[in-house]
Amino acid sequence: MSEKIEILVLPGDGIGAEIVAVAEQVMIQVADREGLSLAVDHAMVGGGAIDAHGTPLPEETLEKARNARALLLGAVGGPKWDDLATLERPERGLLGLRSELELFANLRPALLFAPLATASSLKEELVTGLDILIVRELTGGIYFGEPRGVRIVDNERVGINSYVYKEHEIDRIARVAFELAQKRGGRLCSVDKANVLEVTQLWREVVTEVGRDYPDVELSHMYVDNAGMQLVRAPKQFDVLVTGNLFGDILSDVAAMLTGSLGMLPSASLAGDGRGLFEPVHGSAPDLAGRDLANPLATILSVAMMFRYSLDAPKGADAIETAVDRVLDAGYRTADIIVATEPELRLVGTREMGDLIAAELEAKP
Ligand code: IPM
Ligand code: MG
């Protein structure tokens, strides 16, 4: 077998452990099929790491993460840590990984699996065949801009965050988005608020300049408020969307709901050299934790993205996506995607859904 590929698994908090356990099993199964030899290690991040080590991103975790080709992450956060200061919260563990590993390109595909058309909050005809890709800048913008904080000015508290983008940050995310658009439908919509915010005027300028290198891609621009509206009005007009960190955070949750459930949306966060962190778009859902209720499909589909983008094994990715489609087509649903008016559907838990995917992968080599 070829050289071992280092994978770091970070279950995190809430439902993280359950969904990652199931997805890890699929990852190992598909790696075997593809003849890839993985060296899988585990580490702590988020609230659990705060409890055990006093920090959401322990040095040991960061060290292991730096050595890994790919990271599989569940989710971080929960009510237990809600009262901590912003820079001490579980979420900082995730943001720290993104920024330390320079995972600047966040790919969030919103793809409707045909059997789920009736689970969407939109009318079936609006979402049937939906296949859009949100490319979110992940290591800059208002999430990381300085100055930040809450301070006393003239005897009152003033909260400050800074929305900052440097030219090179816009340039590199734009290139990722144009290249993905070239491989898909050839259309890219850049989302900004250039009518109000100077930083996004620069965004629009740089994206337009980069676009000259991709004459085969049709570039358009849209204000973020309109983009939110268009996503729920006529989502199929989009192919690839590219936007900054905060707008991408919001629009990707909206896009997720179009596909039936937040429980279906995977993501890849990539560095320039193809290393990546793969995680579901949804959070840690503390109310569902430990109850075998959570939908593991977003995490399983994140493993598919790992095979496609970091492990250079697109066939493994296709196999996982096909297995998910078949299991849904056979009528199996977790609680978040079941439709009460369709009695033929079968409600399953987290583990059973994982077993069904594993069996499907076994059956159709
Ligand atoms: C996401 C999440 C994170 C973000 C949180 C958990 C910090 O909402 O990945 O979309 O805001 O980026
Ligand atoms: Mg989010």
Q: What is the pLDDT of residues 33-42, one digit of tens each?
A: 999 999 999 9
Number of compact structural domains in the chain = 2
pLDDT confidence band for 73 (50 / 70 / 90): very high
Q: Could you tell me how many residues make up the chain? A: 365
User: Which residue among the candidates 32, 51, 171, 225 is catalytic per the annotation?
Assistant: 225
| Range(s) of the domain holding residue 225 | 131-258
Kindly report the pTM of this predicted structure: 0.94
Distance from the first to the final alpha carbon of the chain? 19
Which has the closest alpha carbon to 344: 333, 359, 360, 356?
333
Query: Helix, strand, coil: what percent of the chain each, to 5?
Result: 45, 20, 35
Is residue 299 located within the same domain as residue 365?
yes
pLDDT confidence band for 8 (50 / 70 / 90): very high
Is residue 11 located within the same domain as residue 81?
yes
Q: At residue 365, does pLDDT exceed 80?
A: no
- Measured from the Cα of 283, ligand 1's closest atom is 6
Q: At residue 347, does pLDDT exceed 70?
A: yes
Beta carbons within 10 angstroms of residue 165's beta carbon: 20
Is residue 137 located within the same domain as residue 232?
yes
CA dihedral over 43, 47, 51, 57, signed as positive or negative: positive
Is 332 inside a domain boundary? Answer: yes
Is residue 205 located within the same domain as residue 229?
yes
Is residue 150 located within the same domain as residue 214?
yes
Cis preceding-peptide flag for 147 (omega within 30 of 0): yes
From 135, 138, 249, give the residue whose CB has the most ligand 1 atoms within 8 Å, as the site to mutate: 249
Q: 240 is written with which tokens?
A: 């690839």
Is residue 6 located within the same domain as residue 101?
yes
- Report the SS3 class of residue 24: helix
pLDDT recorded at residue 364: 65
Instruction: Classify residue 84 by burial, with Cβ atoms within 10 Å: 0-12, 13-18, 19+.
Output: middle
Q: At residue 67, does pLDDT exceed 70?
A: yes
Q: 302 is written with which tokens?
A: 């994140």
Please say if 318 is a catalytic residue: no
Is 148 inside a domain boundary? Answer: yes
The β-bridge relationship of strands 346-347 and 218-223 is unpaired
Is 116 inside a domain boundary? Answer: no
Is 174 inside a domain boundary? Answer: yes
Please say if 236 is a catalytic residue: no
Domain end (from 258, 277, 311): 258
The H or E element spanning position 346 is: strand 346-347
Q: At residue 3, does pLDDT exceed 90?
A: no
The H or E element spanning position 189 is: strand 187-192
DSSP state of 4: P
Q: What is the mean pLDDT of residues 137-165?
A: 98
Please say if 225 is a catalytic residue: yes
User: Which residue among the candidates 249, 309, 332, 336 is catalytic per the annotation?
Assistant: 249
Query: For ligand 1, atom 8, which residue shows the shortest CA distance?
Result: 249
What angle, 0 to 180 degrees and rounded to 10, lies between the N-to-C axes of helices 297-309 and 350-363? 40
Ligand 1 environment, Cβ below 6 A: 91, 94-95, 249, 281
pLDDT recorded at residue 121: 86
b (16+ CB within 10 A) / e for 236-248: eebbbbbbbbbbb
Is residue 268 located within the same domain as residue 251?
no
Is 113 inside a domain boundary? Answer: no
Is 120 inside a domain boundary? Answer: no
Is 233 inside a domain boundary? Answer: yes
Q: Percent of the chain having pLDDT more than 90? A: 92
How far away, in angstroms, is 202 Cα from ligand 1 center? Answer: 24
Is 118 inside a domain boundary? Answer: no
Please say if 193 is a catalytic residue: yes
What is the spatial distance between Cα 99 and Cα 94, in angstroms, rounded to a whole number? 9
Q: What is the mean pLDDT of residues 241-268?
A: 92
**pLDDT tens for each residue of 199-227:** 999 999 999 999 999 999 999 999 999 99
Instruction: Classify residue 27 by burial, with Cβ atoms within 10 Å: 0-12, 13-18, 19+.
Output: buried
Mean pLDDT of the residues in the chain: 96
- Measured from the Cα of 253, ligand 1's closest atom is 10
Q: What is the mean pLDDT of residues 289-306?
A: 97
Domain end (from 258, 280, 308): 258
How far away, in angstroms, is 168 Cα from ligand 1 center? Answer: 23
Q: 9 is written with which tokens?
A: 């698994």
Q: Which CATH number covers residue 64?
A: 3.40.718.10
Query: For ligand 1, atom 11, which residue shows the shortest CA distance?
Result: 249
**pLDDT tens for each residue of 87-141:** 899 999 999 999 999 999 999 999 999 999 888 889 999 999 999 999 999 999 9
The H or E element spanning position 157 is: strand 156-160
Ligand nearest to the CA of residue 250, numbered in listed order: 2
Q: Percent of the chain having pLDDT more than 70? A: 99
pLDDT recorded at residue 119: 85
Domain end (from 238, 258, 278): 258
What is the spatial distance between Cα 43 and Cα 339, in angstroms, rounded to a whole number? 37
pLDDT recorded at residue 55: 97
DSSP state of 55: S
